[in-house]
Amino acid sequence: MSPAVAEDGDDRYLTRREVALILEKDQERFVSRREWEAAIEAGMAASEERWRGHTRQHENEATQVALQLAAAHALYEHHSKAHDREHAAAQLAIDKADLGVSRRFDAALGLLETTRGDIDRRFSEVTKQGELHYEENRRRIEALEKGDVKEEGKGAGQAAVWAVIIASIGAIGGILSVLIMLSNAIERGP
């Protein structure tokens, strides 16, 4: 079958019936059978040349598509590698930041432990001083209570006891407020 003849209804090519009708009409135009066959051969050669040109066009298109696919794949590979580098750089940055935060956290914990030790030591010193003041005030109160037996100093002794109690409570409250302020200042940091 010649490339110029097609079975389907493709508009670019003739069907067998169309070729047969053209050949019958062309046969009437030629004088001899030899001229007619030569014209047929020339037409077939031209048709086959068009077919080869059409085939080359498809081959060129297929080559262009293959080149474009190769370029697209190379671009994909380039972007994929770039993405992998970006991901690795981001992960490295995250790891470094995590390490920095861990170090700062460890330093803060160390400072907190040191500060707690200082607070505990200061609190124990203040507590000891408070206990000493308490004992001293208790002795004074006992002395006042003993002296209170006397009738004449009874009113003055009671006033002194109350003054000592109020003074002791004030001193303990002041000491505790200083301790609280110190612990708050240490917790907030410099």
Distance CA 172, CA 137 (A): 12
pLDDT score, position 69: 92
Range among 42-46, 65-69, 137-141, 181-185 rated most confident: 65-69
What are the structure tokens assigned to 100, written together? 């920095």
pLDDT score, position 127: 82
Q: How confident is the model at residue 12 (pLDDT cuts 50, 70, 90)?
A: low
Q: What is the CA radius of gyration of the chain?
A: 56
pLDDT at 91 over 70: yes
Instruction: Point out the least confidently predicted range of 60-64, 100-104, 120-124, 166-170.
Output: 120-124
pLDDT at 102 over 70: yes
pLDDT at 63 over 70: yes
pLDDT score, position 120: 79
- Chain segment 27-47, per-residue pLDDT in tens: 666 666 777 778 778 888 888
Residue 58 domain-assigned? yes
Residues of the domain holding 101: 31-188
| Helix/strand/coil for 175 | helix
State the total domains in the chain.
1
